[in-house]
Structure 1
Amino acid sequence: MQTVTSADGTSIAYERHGDGRPLVLLHGGSAPAYWQPVVPCLADEYSVVVPHRRGVGASGDSDEYSLDRGVEDVQAVVEAVGGDVTLFGHSFGGLLALETARQTPLAGCIAYEPAVLVGEYREQADLAAQMQAHIDAGERRAAMRHYVREVMHGGDVDDLDAWLAEWPPWPDIVALTENIARINRAIEGYRLPETLDIDAPVLLLTGTEGPPHLRDGIRAVHDAVPESRFVEFDGVGHGGPAEAPDRVLPAVGEFIEDPSPTAAEQ
């Protein structure tokens, strides 16, 4: 484990696996362990770097949090790693990757269903407040169940208990309840610009079984990023990179080797 100091003095931890060009994996609303199924598939080819989000894992924390603070954390890791860095973010990590790419020179930016809310859904979004109400009532597990139902399933799942029983992060993810509520505040406060000015090549990934609001969001991002590459995976859900690495990672590798913009369906 290595650490770097972010702009406000907070210690940000990161793991490093393998050798080669640097590929930084940014986890979303779970723990760095989300990437465990992915790292072995990439470490023979790349120097795979897995930061621990502020307040999660081995990283330090602060009383206040914002999207800008999260970007500063990623920038600190990118600077420490050095070289031609590619960012690969999932969910909230995808939003962090995109926002970091607006401000930081990168070799490439990859986002799987970034946590970007658009349209009527964004105007009505109150997941953070609903989670906080459960937290204030001492119902942290209920808060996380609500989060999983909304973010992983778009609010629609036949048997959440059965699904959770097969979901590797459950129930350990309950320990991150407060942290996840606060990143949802940051997500709900974010407004996608009409144009995302990103100099680096951008690859946007989604699955046909992902939550509708995030599938709407990634298409809006695709419209906002000139010449971004868009790939959709049939039958894959929001957990795509970790749940279907055999489907997702070849597209990642192809993009890193040749980031020229194309449209693709898989």
Structure 2
Amino acid sequence: MDPSDGASGRVLSADGTPIAWERHGEGPPLVVVDPIMMDRTTSGMAGVAERLAAGHTVYTYDRRGKGESGDGEEYTAESEVDDLLAVVETAGGTADVLGTSSGAILALRAASESAVISSVVAVEPPLFGDGGSGADFRPQLAALIEADDRAGAIRLFQESIGVPEEMIRSSEPSPFEPAAHTISYDLTLMIDTDVRSLTGVRVPVLVLASSGSDERLQDWARNAAEMLPEGSFQLLAGGWHGIEDAELAAAVDAFLD
């Protein structure tokens, strides 16, 4: 099949969970990993993916428990790594990976555990350095999900990670409510991943941060770049925990060229 033709399908992860994927563009394969709660219909990476498809065969996918993908009986970070590797296999067996926030952590974990990832662009991975970020609010999240208060779970998450109040007030939670139960998945991924465990990543990694993010997020990104054997760091124009599409796409293209 001509890779320039759009295509979509499902691939089975190692535990049999179906993972929905989509392909666009032409060129070297690039897999895009979304951040928390987002799937292909709500992705904040859609504009970047569209720009990158001009020079790459871009694969997007719904992470476990989101969108059209299935869910396992019990979440583990290893199962999510297997999901990403299954998409890379669909992409031809090797690929570059672009991940944002928790998606960046997932991309780095996969690169540390498998040789099929050629390089990684990691946008503000929330790697805390010691595997912890303070209080673990997963029990409170579980209680809200059990009570079917998905909007409340989303707000708890936003407040707990320091999303600016004006952003919380202006955001509409309803598009993300179907994936609210997966917030705990990403928290598990973040809590269980110590940046020091990623020093085995032996591929080039570009770690990016936004000029509009707080110092905490920027420092985590710089620290990750410093600890990775082939890591480099760039600060780009953007808002809180997000980089302008044009800036991000240009940086990815330059890095992968």
TM-score range, shorter chain: 0.7 to 0.9
Deviation at 1:108, TM superposition (A): 1.0
In structure 2, what residue type is equivalent to 1:108?
S
* 2:60 paired with 1:50: yes
Return the TM-score normalized by structure 1. Answer: 0.84
| 1:256 aligned residue | 256
Q: Which moved more, 1:43-52 or 1:123-132?
A: 123-132
| 2:3 aligned residue | none
Cα distance in 1 for residues equivalent to 2:236 and 2:248 = 8
Gaps of 5+ in 1: 258-266
In structure 1, what residue type is equivalent to 2:15?
D
The counterpart of 1:41, out of the listed 51, 54, 65, is 51
Deviation at 1:236, TM superposition (A): 3.0
Structure 1 residue ranges (4+ consecutive) displaced by more than 6 angstroms after TM superposition: none
Cα distance in 2 for residues equivalent to 1:194 and 1:69 = 18
The counterpart of 2:141, out of the listed 131, 134, 151, is 131
Q: Which moved more, 1:17-26 or 1:36-45?
A: 36-45
The counterpart of 1:232, out of the listed 232, 235, 253, is 235
- Share of identical aligned residues, percent? 30
Cα distance in 1 for residues equivalent to 2:84 and 2:154 = 25
Gaps of 5+ in 2: 1-7
CA RMSD of aligned residues (A): 2.1
For residues 62-83 of structure 1, the C-alpha deviation after alignment (integer angstroms, 9 at most, x for no partner) is 1111111110111111122115
| 1:90 aligned residue | 100
For residues 13-54 of structure 1, the C-alpha deviation after alignment (integer angstroms, 9 at most, x for no partner) is 110001111010000102233122222211121100002101
Conserved in 2, the CA contact under 8 Å of 1:125 and 1:188? no
For residues 146-169 of structure 1, the C-alpha deviation after alignment (integer angstroms, 9 at most, x for no partner) is 222344xx25424632x215xxxx
SS in 1 for 2:99: strand
Deviation at 1:194, TM superposition (A): 5.8
The counterpart of 1:208, out of the listed 195, 206, 211, is 211
Return the TM-score normalized by structure 2. Answer: 0.87
Cα distance in 2 for residues equivalent to 1:122 and 1:211 = 18
Deviation at 1:137, TM superposition (A): 4.0
Deviation at 1:204, TM superposition (A): 0.3
Conserved in 2, the CA contact under 8 Å of 1:150 and 1:156? no
| 2:165 aligned residue | 157
| 1:103 aligned residue | 113
Count matched residues.
246
Cα distance in 1 for residues equivalent to 2:133 and 2:203 = 30
Deviation at 1:56, TM superposition (A): 0.9
In structure 2, what residue type is equivalent to 1:173?
F
For residues 212-238 of structure 1, the C-alpha deviation after alignment (integer angstroms, 9 at most, x for no partner) is 443332222112202311011244321
